[in-house]
Amino acid sequence: MSETDRGTETKVDEAESAALDLANVSDADRSAALRAVADAIEDAEERVLAANEKDVAAAEERLEAGDYTRAFVDRLTLDAAKIESIAEMVRSVAAQDDPLGETLAARRLDDALELYEVGVPIGVVATVFESRPDALVQIAALALKSGNAVILKGGSEATHSNRVLFDVVRDATCAGSSESEREGESPRDGERERPRDASATMPDGWAQLIEAREDVDTLLGMDESVDLVMPRGSSAFVQYVQDNTKIPVLGHTEGVCHVYVDRDADLGMAADVAFDAKVQYPAVCNAVETLLVHESVADDFLPGMVERYADAGVELRGDADVREIVDVDPASEADWSREYGDLVLSLKVVDSLDAAVDHVNAYGSKHTESILTEDADRAGDFMTRVDAASVFHNASTRFADGYRYGLGAEVGISTGKIHARGPVGLDGLTTYKYYLEGDGQLVASYAGENPRPFLHEEFEGEWVPGHLASDQ
Amino acid sequence: MSETDRGTETKVDEAESAALDLANVSDADRSAALRAVADAIEDAEERVLAANEKDVAAAEERLEAGDYTRAFVDRLTLDAAKIESIAEMVRSVAAQDDPLGETLAARRLDDALELYEVGVPIGVVATVFESRPDALVQIAALALKSGNAVILKGGSEATHSNRVLFDVVRDATCAGSSESEREGESPRDGERERPRDASATMPDGWAQLIEAREDVDTLLGMDESVDLVMPRGSSAFVQYVQDNTKIPVLGHTEGVCHVYVDRDADLGMAADVAFDAKVQYPAVCNAVETLLVHESVADDFLPGMVERYADAGVELRGDADVREIVDVDPASEADWSREYGDLVLSLKVVDSLDAAVDHVNAYGSKHTESILTEDADRAGDFMTRVDAASVFHNASTRFADGYRYGLGAEVGISTGKIHARGPVGLDGLTTYKYYLEGDGQLVASYAGENPRPFLHEEFEGEWVPGHLASDQ
């Protein structure tokens, strides 16, 4: 039976069951399994490239029909170097510190009554992601390293690539995915040079692939079984997920980011940062969409900046104050809350730092904001008063990214304020659990007429099950 | 204009604006404001008691009509001692460590490019709570200490009490709540013995009271402005909130908690804990609903336990194995997932620790689970494999509570796995923000042909705005 034939409910149930087991797999075993995935991806290069060719061929047809852009097809396309970098990414996730088992707090409630708050996986995490085939492997790797079962739904444009990559990940980690179950699938072209090793001991079903859009709707209805859903992709799609599920959602619909050039900015630095933030990769959510310029430097700053943007093909829209200084199209009210995702930028002159903060808090999407200034107090003022996941001083908004932040990789970027903010890596895939060790304590002793008082003393210590009993 | 006349949208907008300012109020000022609240509550004792009398009189009528229980009316009733304990609770929240501003991580991405993850308030938190008037003050105090604006909706049975308590909290913290706005309200009976002091400097509008059920629906629709909603009260109501909002929800619908008496339990201790967990306060969510007993101790344990429960008026329901040992009513399948919230308990014999774990994971509500055993390995096995916010060894489930955990107080108990689990105190009302300090870095330098590598070194340090510039 192929993955596509099995029902989404079955897959989610399997993931839920696997999650309970995976929560207690050691970091050594999870990391060994990830290294086996990396090896298996390298071994499967031919099969992955063959599948990817099918996706790319279909995409090329739609490129000719005008449905897709060249950049879109490029992102979909794998080659030997990209496969090697995917394998290396998996190895780097394996090498990260164990995100689980950390004692976050230890508190003695009373003699022989000890409370421990310990990091644990979330459980079942569902992700719906765009058409870059490396996304499937990245998300699966982060999920496994953090002990979570994962439901993977990739873009339909990458169906063939995702199917093969998923098979490789599953076969490298689960002994139970028997060959006979997959009869009728495409043969494996002699790729099994390395023997299936002992690392294929992850709980069967920890990773699940779903493919059809209607399966997403089934998934979104399973709030009893799925603990978190992380949608990536278009704003409209993320909004659709938020509107159609009771499962907690982590993600972002829009990235309306600002760069604010303060009156005390180093204008040369500001020009470089503002340019990088728009031009280096305009299609992504951490690119700047509105440039705010303090009125006292606008005359000096704007003419050269506008020329530099224009040379790079950036379409500019300004408010009335901007248009008194430089010749650009007028910006409308709607421009201030638009994520262009392209070489388009709106420009606005503000008369104070307060006005910049107010504009950002009114129109920003709580993603990433940057101030350029040489005045430390003004930097601090802007950074503490702006409400966003990431607020930068003298740096490009484009740094807001899990890899650049040193998180290893990211499953997404959150503009919500609950659980995880900004780029979400391994830590964002964990939660905690309270363990209480006692020796028969009753709440009745701490209530009523002569209640026993609590101690509530913090202490340093790791939870060792039953250690109070063995002390005796 | 009274609180009831102003629209919910207006109130939420005011809270959203106040939240931005409150995020930057110092702990010293927030705590001083809380101490002023405690003083003001003591000063307002007569007015609070007069308002509470109206609520209690109405409730007594409904008690006679059979709508309410005596316990319900008792919980609603305030007296001088309860008011004093409310004031003390506020002072204890004020005395807690500042939950904000902590540097959770500091990482050097490159020379002069430093990333800091810093604790900040969530923003606007909405709470809908049951009819204990002390709940309003407790929630408001936790919100203010953690720098959050708060929307408060109490039970209609406590309307008069809540209105006066809300006025006291607001007047003690906000200078801007001008007298003229509240003309026509009941006069204050000479309670202003202490002058309004300098602590009344919290941002106007940080606390908002809403009263009508239809206002709750308006509130639940304002997902752009409200960052978190925490419903307390009946399962049906919490479910209603979860089903009718896109705002992240923290709370619990049910508390189906278990006590498992293992084959290696100290049976005397087990009997005391199982008794406490059911009888000490059966109406609350952390009371036990199903007692699981290992088959090898069932003959020894059940007869005495059942007699003790029966003497305390506990109605018992058992599975077939239990009924072979003791004479109790049969339990149906539905009993295993029921939160009785009363002196009712279901009993089940299990043939192994595995069976106990499976039963808890199948029927529990991820709230609180307890194992009684003298075997440390078996304790660890149960505790790591059971998926619940709190898992106890040799202690009563009734300990799952913010006050007992040493959190100072709680805004609720979460059975979800995202953001905060179990009893939610000050930490659960915070999130974090990334601050990046640079000196003009561009992402272009770290991409392309000869990318500059990242350092990604963790270091110890607090974020000081602009300190890189001032080093130079």
Q: Residue ranges per domain, chain B?
A: 3-243, 257-409
* Distances B423 to A59, A159, A242 between C-alpha atoms, Å: 51, 43, 26
Measured between beta carbons, the chain A residues lying within 8 angstroms of B109 are 399, 404-406
pLDDT of residue A43: 97
Q: Which residue of A has its CA nearest to B452?
A: A404
Residues from chain A contacting residue B440 (CB–CB below 8 Å): 266, 269, 272-273, 372, 394-395
For the whole model, what pTM was predicted? Answer: 0.91
Name the pLDDT band for A470 (thresholds 50, 70, 90): low
Fold of A257-406: Aldehyde Dehydrogenase; Chain A, domain 2 (3.40.309)
Contact A160/A54 with Cβ under 8 angstroms? yes
CB spacing of B466 vs A396 below 8 angstroms: no
Give the chain B residue whose CA is nearest to the CA of A388: B433
CATH architecture of B257-409: 3-Layer(aba) Sandwich (3.40)
Check if the beta carbon of residue A123 is closer than 8 Å to that of residue A73.
no
pLDDT value for A177: 55
pLDDT band at A130 (very low <50, low <70, confident <90, very high): confident
pLDDT tens digit sequence for B60-100: 999 999 988 888 898 899 999 999 999 999 999 999 999 99
- Contact between residue A425 and residue A142 where contact means Cβ atoms under 8 Å apart: yes
Instruction: Indicate the average pLDDT of chain A.
Output: 92
Residue B4 has a pLDDT of 52
- Cα distance from B12 to chain A (closest Cα, Å)? 15
What CA–CA distance (Å, rounded) separates B15 from B124?
7
Decide if B46 contacts B32 (C-beta within 8 A): no
Helix (H) or strand (E) holding B73: helix B70-76
Rounded mean pLDDT, A196-218: 87
Q: What is the pLDDT of residue B365?
A: 95
Would you identify the CATH topology of the domain B3-243?
A: Aldehyde Dehydrogenase; Chain A, domain 1 (3.40.605)
Question: Measured between CB atoms, which of A123, A272, A436 is closest to B440?
Answer: A272
pLDDT at B192: 47
Looking only at the bridges linking them, the beta strands covering A124-128 and A288-294 are: unpaired
A400: which chain B residues are within 8 Å (Cβ-Cβ)?
434
- Nearest CA to CA, how far is B401 from chain A (Å)? 11
Tell me what pLDDT residue A466 has.
85
- Inspect the interface and report whether the beta carbons of B404 and A446 lie closer than 8 Å: yes
> Using CA atoms, how far apart are residues A10 and A123, in angstroms rounded to an integer?
16
Weakest-pLDDT range from A138-152, A241-255, A326-340, B450-464:
A241-255
Q: pLDDT tens string for chain B (472 positions)?
A: 445 557 999 999 999 999 999 999 999 999 999 999 999 999 999 999 999 999 999 999 999 999 888 888 988 999 999 999 999 999 999 999 999 999 999 999 999 999 999 999 999 999 998 778 899 999 999 999 999 999 999 999 999 999 999 999 999 999 865 443 444 444 454 444 455 555 689 999 999 999 998 999 999 999 999 999 999 888 888 889 988 999 999 988 789 999 999 999 999 999 999 999 999 999 889 999 999 999 999 999 999 999 999 999 999 999 999 999 999 999 999 999 999 989 999 999 999 999 999 999 999 999 999 999 999 999 999 999 999 999 999 999 999 999 899 987 888 899 999 999 999 999 999 999 999 999 999 999 999 889 999 999 999 999 998 888 654 4
Region A432-445 average pLDDT = 97
User: Minimal Cα–Cα distance from B227 to chain A, Å?
Assistant: 7
Class of residue A190 by CB neighbours under 10 A (exposed 0-12, middle 13-18, buried 19+): exposed
Domain A3-184+195-243 bears CATH identifier 3.30.200.20: no
> Chain A contacts of B400, Cβ < 8 Å?
434
DSSP 8-state class, residue B194: S
Answer whether residue A42 shows pLDDT above 90: yes
DSSP letter string, A355-392: HHHHHHHHH--SSEEEEE-S-HHHHHHHHHHS-SSEEE
ipTM over 0.90: yes
Closest Cβ–Cβ partner in B387, B394, B416 for A440: B394
The pLDDT tens digits of the residues spanning A442-456 come to: 999 999 889 999 999
Q: What is the pLDDT of residues B287-336, one digit of tens each?
A: 999 999 999 999 999 999 999 999 999 999 999 999 999 999 999 999 99
Mean pLDDT value across residues A381-391: 97
pLDDT of residue B449: 86
Select the residue from A16, A387, A424, A429 to test the B interface by mutation, using most B Cβ atoms within 10 A.
A387
A405–B377 CB contact, under 8 Å? no
Q: What is the mean pLDDT of residues A35-50?
A: 97
Q: Is the pLDDT of residue A309 over 50?
A: yes
Q: List strand residue ranges (DSSP E) for B182-339, in order.
A: 207-210, 228-231, 257-261, 288-294, 315-318, 329-330
Give me the long-range contacts of A89-92 (CB less than 8 A, separation at least 24). A89/A134, A89/A137, A89/A138, A89/A141, A89/A409, A90/A34, A90/A35, A90/A37, A90/A38, A90/A41, A90/A137, A90/A141, A91/A34, A91/A35, A91/A38, A92/A408, A92/A409
* Residues from chain B contacting residue A107 (CB–CB below 8 Å): 405-406
Contact residues on chain B for A417, CB-CB shorter than 8 A: 122-123, 227-228, 431
